[in-house]
């Protein structure tokens, strides 16, 4: 069987797939997931894709269909991301499905109390829609901002989607320790999943 080509350290591939909230693209390379865009009109890279990337795409589709999914184990390619931004993203990935918190609360959990504005700017720069759940961070009054291409309309849809599956969860619980992230595949293989713990019925395979 022909294996999917292994991405190099500098080459990234883009996988496009349909979800209940629109067409999505997942960009990945040897270091992990480099970006997730929703909605997206970016073209997909031709050829076969890593099984791990396809599995993550399926799980994103599951989440956007209303199935609670934890993406905390997915390996992100944080190349070029400032340390404070990376710290905020890691903190935010520990906030579970259906739970929200304020920009100030996120900054405080990351060890920077009083840095709510800086947290907002960091989330506006985030390039991992869904995998880093920026939509779960809201202003003290109103939704706040949302840097994804779908804008505030998508943020509201994501919050409504999660509230429907978890109506009683409204604020973030105390942080808890998480296991270390599973490694991104070092080489192409016929099966593999760097994002364990999926729930629900598998969504249709991405194109």
Q: Please give the Cα distance from 183 to 17 (Å, whole number).
A: 23
Query: What pLDDT, on the 0 to 100 scale, is given for residue 148?
Result: 75
User: Residue 93: is its pLDDT beyond 50?
Assistant: yes
pLDDT at 83: 96
Question: What average pLDDT does this structure show over 37-42?
Answer: 90
Residue 141 pLDDT:
83
Taking residues 16-21, report their average pLDDT.
94
For residue 53, give the nearest of 24, 74, 67, 81 by alpha carbon.
74
Q: Could you give the strand order of the β-sheet that contains 22-29, starting from the edge strand earlier in sequence? A: 13-19, 22-29, 32-37
Highest mean pLDDT: which range of 41-50, 88-97, 194-203: 88-97
Average pLDDT score over residue span 44-61? 93
> For the structural domain made of 83-165, what CATH number should be given?
1.10.10.10
Instruction: Flag whether pLDDT at 195 surpasses 70.
Output: no
Q: Inform me whether the pLDDT recorded for 187 exceeds 60.
A: no
What would the pLDDT profile of 138-177 be if each residue is shown by its tens digit? 998 888 988 777 889 999 999 999 998 654 443 444 445 4
> Could you state, in order of their start, the residue ranges of all structural domains in the chain?
83-165
Q: Is the predicted pLDDT of residue 103 greater than 80, yes or no?
A: yes
What is the model's pLDDT at position 58?
A: 96
Structure tokens at 84: 């404070």
Please give the structure tokens belonging to residue 155.
Answer: 């943020």
Number of Cβ within a 10 Å radius of residue 191:
7
Does residue 25 carry a pLDDT above 80?
yes
The pLDDT of residue 41 is: 86
Tens digits of per-residue pLDDT, 61-71? 999 999 999 99
**3-class SS string, 53-110:** HHHHHHHHHHHHCCCCCCCCCCCECCCCCCHHHHHHHHHHCCCCCCCCEEHHHHHHHC
pLDDT of residue 62: 96
**SS3 category, 128:** strand
Mean pLDDT, residues 47-54 taken together = 92
- Active-site amino acid positions: 134
Average pLDDT over residues 7-24: 84
Tell me: pLDDT of 200 over 50: no
Kindly state the percentage of the chain with pLDDT values over 90.
63
**pLDDT given for residue 184 in this prediction:** 57
């Amino acid at each position: 069987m022909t294996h999917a080509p292994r991405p190099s350290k500098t080459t990234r591939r883009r996988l496009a797939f349909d979800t209940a909230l629109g067409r999505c693209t997942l960009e990945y390379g040897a270091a992990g997931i480099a970006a997730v865009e929703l909605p997206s009109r970016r073209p997909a890279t031709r050829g076969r894709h890593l099984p791990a990337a396809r599995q993550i795409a399926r799980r994103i589709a599951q989440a956007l269909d209303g199935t609670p999914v934890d993406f905390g184990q997915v390996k992100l390619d944080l190349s070029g991301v400032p340390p404070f931004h990376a710290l905020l993203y890691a903190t935010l990935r520990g906030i579970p499905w259906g739970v929200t918190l304020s920009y100030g609360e996120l900054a405080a959990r990351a060890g920077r109390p009083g840095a709510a504005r800086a947290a907002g700017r960091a989330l506006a720069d985030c390039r991992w829609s869904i995998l880093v759940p920026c939509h779960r961070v809201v202003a003290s009054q109103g939704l706040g901002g949302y840097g994804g291409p779908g804008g505030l309309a998508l943020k509201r849809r994501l919050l409504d989607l999660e509230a429907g599956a978890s109506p009683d969860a409204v604020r973030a619980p105390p942080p808890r320790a998480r296991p270390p992230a599973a490694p991104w595949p070092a080489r192409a293989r016929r099966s593999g999943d760097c994002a364990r713990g999926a729930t629900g019925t598998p969504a249709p395979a991405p194109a």
